[in-house]
Chain A
């Protein structure tokens, strides 16, 4: 009986809290933030969420039709794992959000996709680069580039610029992002005449020494590991202590100050492709840094310093794409927003954003960055395009 009483008490508490939140002057439009705040991609998800939160500070209201709406962000932690994604997605649906942003990580986006579809809510993927997220879906859009493109950029860069001939690829088994990007990289790299080897490790693995030995034994002159931040920091530090000297290459997930910090003080060449290079838009950079300086929690979520990750910028752009869609729809109804989205075009911090027939952003270039081993900062290397 005690337990039931406790649950009832908890319920009353929850309801009273919900009731209090409603007291607002402006009508509210809700945007769902479908991002990991825990798990392997938690660090990246938090940085992406920061971009959305900052954008919400910059533009806290939106005019839909003739009415001014207050934009409320509803967050749901998908735990970086596709089996937790459904309940997080369902939470957003039950809160009646008009549009969803996210997620960091392609697997969780795919896992949440059906729930948004059934509820007629459109979603904008910010940095989920796997083609499967939008393919065959009329409700999923995205503002970033795709893995076939990113894989080709990376392969070209590795083969032509770095002169690599043998690449060792390492990915997490069951991570759609890793597996997809590696596949496209392998295809492109082998197409250029290179040789690739690939290993998978199990979730929660922390001993990468033998995998790195494999890379050495295969005579790899490049290690390609587009894995979650949590794994990439371990791979880099273990590679350093194993005396590995070949470059480590990664995709957009590795563009985080946490990863760059892991390469600090080592002799590992860490190179990534990403969406944004700090310094490209001074107004965004300064505004964001000023916010971090006054909000300690935001600073912690950014990994303790004020370097700007590519994903943060995508979160910012995604928020404004969502606002543009709400304005174009002239309504907060999910179906109307979905109908308006294909025609939405904005000039974002990361460049001009427009959607193609699949719902993907039309993008032809990616930034290549390299970690500075002395300062632990990212340095701009090149802007790569693929014809």
Chain B
């Protein structure tokens, strides 16, 4: 066996540990109203969803646009099973308190959210995974639309609350530890989404580094060659589709926790496009890239570029063009520049440990 330096791996672990420690520390020290935490919570959620989409689009070469649909399934399953029994009459006010009258622990509901999404992925995957790339894209997109309407249907009301909101289920803020007076003693509302996303992304990375992962990459690079090497195409594609949807479902549940309300209306095609663009900016085929670009994307859209939407006056001069919507125009232009001129995105197909490897090589030179 070839001897491999362990240094990059160790450095990676140190960086991850430092990030988690910093998140924990920041949460105890900074005021909880800071925009930073919004960005971190939503960023962690989007990171998981983007990585799950990258698993399909970047690592397996299946171009699916159903991500929002699977997130929606996850979000609904999580919300339906965690609303406390005493809140159900309020939430399901038009449906006599709804059908389900018990609630599950958060972790169980999270796993269930993923499983439900994976199950639907399995069902829809049976017919559509045979399709060619762009047909597959449009079929999965259509599937997401169908699911959205099905959830909104009045006759599904006792289960899904029809087109009305689900709310009052445990959100990220409920993870804070409070004392008897209801005052928060330890803030965990940002660390918990980081932990959930971290564990899930870790599992995806493990999968990608396993034999399965190599098989998926070979399908992406050349389907026919992969089949000739004895890889069962249908089986591996289905597996990748279901696993990706599982994590999209968990991501959807996290989004539900972040938003504090869930409604089928949120999960539009536009959301899928947004996630796809995050993946592209980060680099199709890089987990690190997807994570980085999720945080950048969320931070830029929610925080750093907000000022573009409001009138700004520098000195006595009013900055021209700035008004509602300008942020999104700037955003679109950045995205188009990335898509056209920096097609590799931030990371290309490199990962965090690769960065250290390259540095070491340069040092040797």
Which A residues lie at the B interface, using CB under 8 A?
3, 7, 10-11, 13-14, 16-17, 20, 37-38, 77, 81-83, 86-87, 90-91, 93-94, 96, 107, 110-111, 113-115, 118-119, 131-132, 135-136, 173-176, 179-180, 183, 200, 202-203
Closest chain A residue, CB of each to CB of B302:
A87
Cβ of B33 under 8 Å from chain A: yes
Q: Once bound together, how far apart are the Cα atoms of A132 and B168, in whole Å?
A: 11
Are B263 and A174 touching (Cβ within 8 A)?
Answer: yes
Q: Once bound together, how far apart are the Cα atoms of A173 and B264, in whole Å?
A: 9
Q: Once bound together, how far apart are the Cα atoms of A37 and B93, in whole Å?
A: 30
Which B residues lie at the A interface, using CB under 8 A?
32-35, 38, 42, 87, 90, 93-94, 149, 152, 154, 162-165, 167-168, 171, 173, 258-261, 263-266, 296, 300, 302, 304-307, 309, 312-314, 324-325, 334
Are A86 and B258 touching (Cβ within 8 A)?
Answer: yes
Nearest-CB distance from B13 to chain A (Å)?
A: 25
Main secondary structure of the interface of A (DSSP, over half): helix
Known: A13-B307, A17-B314. A200 touches B163 (CB 8 A): yes
Q: Once bound together, how far apart are the Cα atoms of A83 and B262, in whole Å?
A: 8
Are B35 and A90 touching (Cβ within 8 A)?
Answer: yes
List B contacts of A91 (CB < 8 A).
35, 306
Are B334 and A135 touching (Cβ within 8 A)?
Answer: no
List B contacts of A94 (CB < 8 A).
33-35, 38
Q: Once bound together, how far apart are the Cα atoms of A176 and B166, in whole Å?
A: 11
Q: Once bound together, how far apart are the Cα atoms of A362 and B266, in whole Å?
A: 34
Nearest-CB distance from B195 to chain A (Å)?
A: 20
Residue of B33, B93, B314, B324 with most partner-chain A CB within 10 A: B33
Which 3 residue pairs across A and B have the least CB separation, nearest first? Answer: A174-B265, A83-B266, A173-B163
List A contacts of B33 (CB < 8 A).
93-94, 96, 119
Q: Which listed residue (B42, B300, B307, B324) contacts A7, Cβ 8 A?
A: B300
List B contacts of A11 (CB < 8 A).
304
Known: A96-B33, A110-B261. A38 touches B324 (CB 8 A): yes
Q: Once bound together, how far apart are the Cα atoms of A113 and B302, in whole Å?
A: 18
Q: Which listed residue (B154, B260, B306, B325) contacts A200, Cβ 8 A?
A: B154
Are A14 and B266 touching (Cβ within 8 A)?
Answer: no
Nearest-CB distance from B29 to chain A (Å)?
A: 16
Nearest-CB distance from B258 to chain A (Å)?
A: 7
Are B304 and A82 touching (Cβ within 8 A)?
Answer: no
Nearest-CB distance from B142 to chain A (Å)?
A: 14
Closest chain B residue, CB of each to CB of A200:
B163
Are B162 and A179 touching (Cβ within 8 A)?
Answer: yes
Q: Which listed residue (A14, A115, A180) contacts B307, Cβ 8 A?
A: A14
Closest chain A residue, CB of each to CB of B296:
A7
Nearest-CB distance from B204 to chain A (Å)?
A: 25
List B contacts of A13 (CB < 8 A).
307, 312
Nearest-CB distance from A123 to chain B (Å)?
A: 14
List B contacts of A174 (CB < 8 A).
152, 163-164, 263-265
Given contact pairs A174-B265, A175-B163, a sample of 11 additional A-B residue pairs in the complex whose CB atoms are under 8 Å apart = A3-B334, A38-B324, A83-B259, A83-B263, A83-B265, A86-B260, A107-B165, A110-B261, A132-B90, A174-B152, A174-B263
Are B152 and A77 touching (Cβ within 8 A)?
Answer: no
